[in-house]
């Protein structure tokens, strides 16, 4: 996988495209609720009914890739964890950076080395490193998904705020959620 390094030192994979659809991928109207995973809220929203102003980036078109960069003390190890957890291939590795990409096309995750990395604390505690973001993954069987994640190196968080969600910590300490939606 070829990457482009921007002026901030972030690596991007410009050739990641969704070749099967001209439709935008991912959440169309993400909203956060306290009673369910964010994906459960957006999947129920009919964006055709919502009034919209054209405030998007005009240079962004359907099928362009997007992703998130995650800091880690060992990016290759964390990329392998999420690669195995999600079944996404590792598309690129170099010292300090590893990239996994969704088989469906335009989504990728970059894991970048952080020399002074401090794992976030879950649940948040005043004065400690807060989680700045987390992943939500829909699953069909919560117990087996938790067992699979733990077998790969995740740990179950002590605080579990919802019955249909399990908060886990990845090997670098980032929280992520496995969400069961039975609707």
pLDDT digits (tens, 9 = 90+) for 76-126: 999 999 999 999 999 999 999 999 999 987 889 999 999 999 999 999 999
Give the pLDDT score at 10: 45
pLDDT in the model for residue 4: 44
Q: From CA 10, how far away is CA 183, in angstroms rounded?
A: 39
**For range 20-43, the mean pLDDT:** 39
Tell me the CATH class for 1-19+63-116: alpha beta
pLDDT, residue 48, reads 55
pTM listed for this prediction: 0.70
Tell me which residue of 181, 145, 146, 147 sits closest to 164, measured CA to CA.
Answer: 181
CATH of 118-183, one of 2.60.40.10, 3.40.50.2300, 3.30.360.10, 3.10.180.10: 3.10.180.10
Q: Where do the CATH 3.30.720.120 domains begin and end in the chain?
A: 1-19+63-116
pLDDT at residue 16 above 50?
Answer: no
pLDDT score at 3: 44
pLDDT at 37: 57
- Name which residue leads in pLDDT, 56 or 121: 121
- Give the pLDDT score at 141: 94
Residues of the chain with CATH 3.10.180.10: 118-183
Nearest 5°: phi and psi at 24? Answer: -60, 145
pLDDT band for position 65 (cuts 50, 70, 90): confident
C-alpha closest to that of 74 among 98, 54, 43, 45:
98
pLDDT at 62: 80
């Amino acid at each position: 996988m070829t990457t482009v390094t921007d002026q901030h030192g972030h690596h991007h994979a410009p050739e990641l495209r969704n070749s099967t659809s001209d439709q935008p991928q991912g959440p169309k109207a993400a909203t956060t609720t306290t009673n369910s995973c964010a994906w459960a809220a957006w999947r129920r929203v009919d964006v055709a009914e919502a009034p919209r102003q054209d405030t998007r980036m005009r240079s962004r078109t359907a099928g362009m890739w997007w992703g998130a960069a995650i800091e880690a003390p060992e990016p290759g190890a964390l990329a392998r964890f999420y690669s195995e957890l999600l079944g996404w291939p590792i598309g690129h590795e170099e010292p300090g950076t590893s990239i996994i990409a969704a088989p469906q096309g335009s989504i990728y995750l970059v894991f970048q080395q952080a020399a002074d990395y401090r794992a976030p604390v879950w649940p948040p505690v005043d004065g400690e490193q807060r989680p700045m973001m987390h992943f939500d993954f829909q699953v069909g069987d919560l117990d087996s998904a938790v067992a699979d994640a733990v077998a790969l190196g995740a740990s179950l968080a002590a605080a579990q705020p919802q019955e249909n969600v399990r908060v886990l910590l990845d090997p670098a300490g980032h929280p992520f959620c496995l969400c069961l939606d039975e609707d």
